[in-house]
Structure 1
Amino acid sequence: MDTTRAQDLARRAASAATRTLLHREGGHTTEQQTLTIARTVEDVLRACRDPDVLDTMVSPAGSVHRGPAGVYAWTVADTTIETQAHVEPNRVVFSGGSAQDPDEPVVTVEAWPAPQGLGSEVVLRLTVPAGTGEVGGGLAFTMLYRLRALLQTGEAPTLGDVPSGRDGKR
Protein backbone atom coordinates (compact mmCIF):
# COMPACT_ATOMS: atom_id res chain seq x y z
CA MET A 1 0.00 0.00 0.00
CA ASP A 2 1.47 3.36 -0.96
CA THR A 3 1.95 6.13 1.60
CA THR A 4 -0.73 8.39 0.11
CA ARG A 5 -3.38 5.68 0.34
CA ALA A 6 -2.33 4.81 3.91
CA GLN A 7 -2.55 8.49 4.86
CA ASP A 8 -6.00 8.78 3.33
CA LEU A 9 -7.25 5.65 5.10
CA ALA A 10 -5.86 6.82 8.45
CA ARG A 11 -7.41 10.27 8.02
CA ARG A 12 -10.82 8.82 7.06
CA ALA A 13 -10.78 6.32 9.95
CA ALA A 14 -9.85 9.01 12.47
CA SER A 15 -12.50 11.35 11.09
CA ALA A 16 -15.21 8.67 11.20
CA ALA A 17 -14.25 7.69 14.75
CA THR A 18 -14.29 11.26 16.00
CA ARG A 19 -17.52 12.08 14.15
CA THR A 20 -19.11 9.12 15.96
CA LEU A 21 -17.96 10.54 19.28
CA LEU A 22 -19.28 14.02 18.54
CA HIS A 23 -22.76 12.67 17.75
CA ARG A 24 -23.88 12.84 21.38
CA GLU A 25 -27.53 11.73 21.44
CA GLY A 26 -28.83 9.12 23.87
CA GLY A 27 -26.84 7.59 26.70
CA HIS A 28 -23.12 7.94 27.14
CA THR A 29 -20.17 6.33 28.82
CA THR A 30 -16.68 7.41 29.77
CA GLU A 31 -13.60 5.91 28.11
CA GLN A 32 -10.28 6.23 29.90
CA GLN A 33 -6.62 5.73 29.02
CA THR A 34 -3.53 6.18 31.20
CA LEU A 35 0.12 6.74 30.21
CA THR A 36 3.28 7.80 31.97
CA ILE A 37 4.80 10.96 30.48
CA ALA A 38 8.34 11.98 31.36
CA ARG A 39 7.36 15.57 32.15
CA THR A 40 6.18 17.34 35.30
CA VAL A 41 2.50 17.57 36.20
CA GLU A 42 2.65 21.33 35.57
CA ASP A 43 4.09 20.83 32.07
CA VAL A 44 1.37 18.31 31.17
CA LEU A 45 -1.51 20.46 32.45
CA ARG A 46 -0.09 23.60 30.80
CA ALA A 47 0.14 21.74 27.49
CA CYS A 48 -3.47 20.58 27.81
CA ARG A 49 -4.64 24.21 27.93
CA ASP A 50 -2.67 25.13 24.80
CA PRO A 51 -4.93 25.07 21.71
CA ASP A 52 -1.96 24.23 19.44
CA VAL A 53 -1.16 21.14 21.51
CA LEU A 54 -4.83 20.10 21.61
CA ASP A 55 -5.04 20.60 17.85
CA THR A 56 -2.04 18.31 17.37
CA MET A 57 -3.63 15.72 19.67
CA VAL A 58 -6.80 15.43 17.57
CA SER A 59 -5.28 15.72 14.10
CA PRO A 60 -5.61 14.52 11.43
CA ALA A 61 -9.24 13.80 12.37
CA GLY A 62 -10.06 17.37 13.32
CA SER A 63 -8.90 20.58 14.91
CA VAL A 64 -9.15 22.63 18.10
CA HIS A 65 -9.25 26.41 18.23
CA ARG A 66 -9.52 28.75 21.19
CA GLY A 67 -11.91 31.61 20.67
CA PRO A 68 -13.08 34.57 22.69
CA ALA A 69 -13.81 34.16 26.40
CA GLY A 70 -11.71 30.98 26.55
CA VAL A 71 -14.09 28.87 24.44
CA TYR A 72 -12.39 25.85 22.86
CA ALA A 73 -14.01 24.77 19.58
CA TRP A 74 -13.40 21.08 18.74
CA THR A 75 -14.16 20.51 15.03
CA VAL A 76 -14.33 17.26 13.07
CA ALA A 77 -15.68 17.15 9.53
CA ASP A 78 -18.76 19.41 9.73
CA THR A 79 -19.41 19.06 13.48
CA THR A 80 -18.18 21.54 16.10
CA ILE A 81 -18.53 21.32 19.88
CA GLU A 82 -17.75 24.36 21.97
CA THR A 83 -16.37 23.74 25.46
CA GLN A 84 -15.04 25.72 28.37
CA ALA A 85 -11.81 24.70 30.10
CA HIS A 86 -12.03 24.38 33.88
CA VAL A 87 -8.64 24.20 35.56
CA GLU A 88 -8.62 22.38 38.89
CA PRO A 89 -5.76 21.01 40.97
CA ASN A 90 -4.15 18.24 38.93
CA ARG A 91 -6.69 18.34 36.11
CA VAL A 92 -8.19 20.23 33.18
CA VAL A 93 -11.84 19.57 32.30
CA PHE A 94 -13.42 20.61 29.00
CA SER A 95 -17.19 20.73 29.45
CA GLY A 96 -20.22 22.12 27.69
CA GLY A 97 -20.63 19.73 24.77
CA SER A 98 -24.19 18.78 25.73
CA ALA A 99 -27.13 21.19 25.42
CA GLN A 100 -28.98 19.14 28.05
CA ASP A 101 -26.12 19.36 30.57
CA PRO A 102 -23.64 22.19 29.88
CA ASP A 103 -21.48 21.08 32.82
CA GLU A 104 -21.04 17.56 31.42
CA PRO A 105 -17.34 16.88 30.81
CA VAL A 106 -16.35 16.08 27.23
CA VAL A 107 -12.59 15.68 27.76
CA THR A 108 -10.82 15.42 31.13
CA VAL A 109 -7.05 15.25 31.59
CA GLU A 110 -5.63 14.46 35.03
CA ALA A 111 -1.94 14.34 35.94
CA TRP A 112 -0.28 13.06 39.11
CA PRO A 113 3.40 12.58 39.98
CA ALA A 114 4.59 9.18 38.77
CA PRO A 115 6.33 6.83 41.20
CA GLN A 116 10.12 6.99 41.49
CA GLY A 117 10.32 10.41 39.82
CA LEU A 118 9.43 9.08 36.37
CA GLY A 119 7.39 12.15 35.40
CA SER A 120 3.59 12.13 35.48
CA GLU A 121 0.85 9.54 35.39
CA VAL A 122 -1.66 11.07 32.98
CA VAL A 123 -5.28 9.96 32.66
CA LEU A 124 -7.41 11.09 29.70
CA ARG A 125 -11.19 10.54 29.86
CA LEU A 126 -13.59 11.01 26.94
CA THR A 127 -17.35 11.06 27.38
CA VAL A 128 -18.69 9.10 24.42
CA PRO A 129 -22.12 7.89 23.25
CA ALA A 130 -23.11 4.46 24.54
CA GLY A 131 -22.05 1.66 22.22
CA THR A 132 -18.93 3.41 20.88
CA GLY A 133 -16.54 2.19 23.56
CA GLU A 134 -13.96 0.65 21.24
CA VAL A 135 -13.86 3.77 19.07
CA GLY A 136 -13.76 6.03 22.15
CA GLY A 137 -11.03 3.99 23.82
CA GLY A 138 -8.95 4.07 20.65
CA LEU A 139 -9.37 7.81 20.26
CA ALA A 140 -8.51 8.41 23.94
CA PHE A 141 -5.34 6.34 23.54
CA THR A 142 -4.39 8.10 20.30
CA MET A 143 -4.84 11.55 21.83
CA LEU A 144 -2.82 10.63 24.92
CA TYR A 145 -0.10 8.91 22.88
CA ARG A 146 0.24 11.98 20.65
CA LEU A 147 0.43 14.22 23.74
CA ARG A 148 3.20 12.08 25.20
CA ALA A 149 5.16 12.10 21.94
CA LEU A 150 4.76 15.85 21.61
CA LEU A 151 5.91 16.56 25.17
CA GLN A 152 8.82 14.10 25.15
CA THR A 153 10.15 14.53 21.61
CA GLY A 154 8.66 17.80 20.35
CA GLU A 155 6.76 16.15 17.51
CA ALA A 156 3.72 13.93 17.10
CA PRO A 157 3.74 10.67 15.13
CA THR A 158 2.45 11.00 11.59
CA LEU A 159 1.83 8.98 8.47
CA GLY A 160 2.60 12.08 6.42
CA ASP A 161 5.56 12.61 4.18
CA VAL A 162 8.72 12.41 6.23
CA PRO A 163 12.22 13.30 5.06
CA SER A 164 14.31 10.40 3.85
CA GLY A 165 17.79 9.91 2.54
CA ARG A 166 16.48 7.37 0.03
CA ASP A 167 14.90 8.02 -3.30
CA GLY A 168 11.21 7.21 -3.74
CA LYS A 169 11.88 3.96 -5.68
CA ARG A 170 13.03 1.93 -2.67
Structure 2
Amino acid sequence: MVFRALREIAPGEELCVNYIDLLATRDERRGVLQQHFGFTCICSVCTSEGECLAESDRRRATLRRLYDEAATCLNEPTLGMRKIKIALRLLKEEDLVHYEASFSFDAFQFCVMVSDFAKAKQWVRKAWEASCVTSGPSSPAARTFKMYWANPRTHRFSGKLPRMVLSSPD
Protein backbone atom coordinates (compact mmCIF):
# COMPACT_ATOMS: atom_id res chain seq x y z
CA MET A 1 0.00 0.00 0.00
CA VAL A 2 1.30 3.46 -0.91
CA PHE A 3 0.32 6.71 0.80
CA ARG A 4 1.03 10.09 -0.75
CA ALA A 5 0.92 12.95 1.71
CA LEU A 6 -0.58 16.28 0.70
CA ARG A 7 1.20 18.01 3.60
CA GLU A 8 3.85 17.37 6.25
CA ILE A 9 2.91 14.66 8.75
CA ALA A 10 4.22 15.01 12.29
CA PRO A 11 5.75 11.94 13.97
CA GLY A 12 3.00 10.08 15.84
CA GLU A 13 0.21 11.94 14.03
CA GLU A 14 -2.81 9.74 13.29
CA LEU A 15 -3.67 9.17 9.63
CA CYS A 16 -7.33 8.72 8.81
CA VAL A 17 -8.53 6.92 5.71
CA ASN A 18 -12.05 7.11 4.31
CA TYR A 19 -13.26 3.57 3.58
CA ILE A 20 -17.00 4.04 3.46
CA ASP A 21 -19.97 6.36 3.00
CA LEU A 22 -19.40 9.01 5.64
CA LEU A 23 -23.05 10.05 5.56
CA ALA A 24 -24.25 6.68 6.85
CA THR A 25 -25.28 6.30 10.48
CA ARG A 26 -22.69 5.11 12.99
CA ASP A 27 -24.19 1.61 13.09
CA GLU A 28 -24.25 1.40 9.28
CA ARG A 29 -20.64 2.57 9.07
CA ARG A 30 -19.51 0.13 11.74
CA GLY A 31 -21.35 -2.75 10.06
CA VAL A 32 -19.65 -2.12 6.71
CA LEU A 33 -16.23 -1.71 8.29
CA GLN A 34 -16.59 -4.90 10.31
CA GLN A 35 -17.98 -6.96 7.43
CA HIS A 36 -15.62 -5.77 4.69
CA PHE A 37 -12.48 -4.71 6.54
CA GLY A 38 -12.62 -6.67 9.80
CA PHE A 39 -12.36 -3.84 12.30
CA THR A 40 -14.49 -1.57 14.45
CA CYS A 41 -13.82 2.13 14.14
CA ILE A 42 -12.95 3.82 17.42
CA CYS A 43 -12.75 7.42 16.23
CA SER A 44 -14.36 10.07 18.42
CA VAL A 45 -17.52 10.16 16.26
CA CYS A 46 -18.01 6.39 16.21
CA THR A 47 -17.44 6.05 19.95
CA SER A 48 -19.90 8.80 20.89
CA GLU A 49 -22.98 7.73 22.83
CA GLY A 50 -26.47 8.88 23.71
CA GLU A 51 -27.70 12.23 22.45
CA CYS A 52 -24.35 13.11 20.82
CA LEU A 53 -24.59 9.98 18.68
CA ALA A 54 -28.26 10.57 17.88
CA GLU A 55 -27.53 14.17 16.82
CA SER A 56 -24.62 13.06 14.64
CA ASP A 57 -26.74 10.38 12.97
CA ARG A 58 -29.51 12.95 12.36
CA ARG A 59 -27.09 15.45 10.85
CA ARG A 60 -25.61 12.81 8.56
CA ALA A 61 -29.05 11.60 7.47
CA THR A 62 -30.00 15.20 6.68
CA LEU A 63 -26.75 15.65 4.76
CA ARG A 64 -27.48 12.55 2.69
CA ARG A 65 -30.97 13.87 1.91
CA LEU A 66 -29.64 17.33 0.99
CA TYR A 67 -26.94 15.75 -1.19
CA ASP A 68 -29.64 13.93 -3.14
CA GLU A 69 -32.04 16.89 -3.22
CA ALA A 70 -29.54 19.49 -4.45
CA ALA A 71 -29.44 17.82 -7.86
CA THR A 72 -33.22 18.10 -8.17
CA CYS A 73 -33.19 21.89 -7.84
CA LEU A 74 -31.76 22.70 -11.27
CA ASN A 75 -34.70 24.96 -12.15
CA GLU A 76 -34.91 26.43 -8.64
CA PRO A 77 -31.45 27.81 -7.87
CA THR A 78 -32.52 29.79 -4.80
CA LEU A 79 -33.98 26.64 -3.22
CA GLY A 80 -30.85 24.72 -4.17
CA MET A 81 -28.65 27.38 -2.58
CA ARG A 82 -30.65 27.24 0.66
CA LYS A 83 -30.14 23.47 0.79
CA ILE A 84 -26.42 23.85 0.10
CA LYS A 85 -26.00 26.45 2.86
CA ILE A 86 -27.70 24.11 5.34
CA ALA A 87 -25.52 21.21 4.17
CA LEU A 88 -22.30 23.20 4.57
CA ARG A 89 -23.31 24.20 8.10
CA LEU A 90 -24.01 20.55 8.96
CA LEU A 91 -20.69 19.44 7.44
CA LYS A 92 -18.94 21.96 9.68
CA GLU A 93 -20.85 20.71 12.74
CA GLU A 94 -19.84 17.13 11.88
CA ASP A 95 -16.25 18.22 11.14
CA LEU A 96 -16.48 16.58 7.69
CA VAL A 97 -14.42 18.03 4.87
CA HIS A 98 -15.60 15.42 2.40
CA TYR A 99 -18.62 16.54 0.39
CA GLU A 100 -17.74 20.23 0.85
CA ALA A 101 -16.27 20.37 -2.65
CA SER A 102 -19.34 18.67 -4.11
CA PHE A 103 -21.83 20.99 -2.40
CA SER A 104 -19.74 24.04 -3.29
CA PHE A 105 -19.54 22.95 -6.91
CA ASP A 106 -23.33 22.55 -6.96
CA ALA A 107 -23.60 26.14 -5.71
CA PHE A 108 -21.18 27.21 -8.45
CA GLN A 109 -23.40 25.55 -11.05
CA PHE A 110 -26.50 27.32 -9.72
CA CYS A 111 -24.67 30.65 -9.98
CA VAL A 112 -23.46 29.91 -13.51
CA MET A 113 -26.99 28.98 -14.59
CA VAL A 114 -28.27 32.42 -13.61
CA SER A 115 -25.17 34.24 -14.91
CA ASP A 116 -24.02 35.31 -11.44
CA PHE A 117 -20.38 34.84 -12.42
CA ALA A 118 -18.90 36.81 -9.51
CA LYS A 119 -20.51 34.47 -6.97
CA ALA A 120 -19.79 31.48 -9.21
CA LYS A 121 -16.07 32.23 -8.92
CA GLN A 122 -16.34 32.43 -5.12
CA TRP A 123 -18.11 29.08 -4.96
CA VAL A 124 -15.79 27.27 -7.33
CA ARG A 125 -12.81 28.62 -5.40
CA LYS A 126 -14.34 27.10 -2.25
CA ALA A 127 -14.79 23.81 -4.14
CA TRP A 128 -11.16 23.98 -5.29
CA GLU A 129 -9.90 24.66 -1.75
CA ALA A 130 -11.90 21.74 -0.33
CA SER A 131 -10.75 19.47 -3.13
CA CYS A 132 -7.12 20.39 -2.48
CA VAL A 133 -7.56 19.32 1.15
CA THR A 134 -9.23 15.99 0.37
CA SER A 135 -7.60 14.99 -2.92
CA GLY A 136 -4.69 17.33 -3.54
CA PRO A 137 -4.23 20.25 -5.94
CA SER A 138 -3.30 18.01 -8.86
CA SER A 139 -6.41 15.82 -8.57
CA PRO A 140 -8.77 15.81 -11.56
CA ALA A 141 -11.50 17.54 -9.54
CA ALA A 142 -9.16 20.29 -8.31
CA ARG A 143 -7.89 20.90 -11.84
CA THR A 144 -11.48 21.13 -13.13
CA PHE A 145 -12.45 23.56 -10.38
CA LYS A 146 -9.39 25.69 -11.07
CA MET A 147 -10.28 25.84 -14.77
CA TYR A 148 -13.82 27.06 -13.96
CA TRP A 149 -12.42 29.49 -11.40
CA ALA A 150 -10.43 31.09 -14.22
CA ASN A 151 -13.45 31.24 -16.54
CA PRO A 152 -16.85 30.20 -15.16
CA ARG A 153 -18.57 31.14 -18.43
CA THR A 154 -17.15 28.01 -20.07
CA HIS A 155 -19.43 25.75 -18.02
CA ARG A 156 -22.15 24.09 -20.09
CA PHE A 157 -24.91 25.44 -17.79
CA SER A 158 -23.81 29.04 -18.32
CA GLY A 159 -26.80 31.36 -18.77
CA LYS A 160 -29.44 28.60 -18.93
CA LEU A 161 -31.83 30.43 -16.59
CA PRO A 162 -32.88 34.08 -16.23
CA ARG A 163 -30.34 36.31 -14.52
CA MET A 164 -30.42 36.68 -10.76
CA VAL A 165 -28.04 37.23 -7.88
CA LEU A 166 -27.47 34.31 -5.53
CA SER A 167 -25.71 34.10 -2.18
CA SER A 168 -21.98 33.81 -1.69
CA PRO A 169 -20.12 31.38 0.57
CA ASP A 170 -19.93 32.55 4.17
Same-fold status (TM-score > 0.5): no
Pair member with larger Rg = 2
Question: TM-score scaled by structure 1?
Answer: 0.28
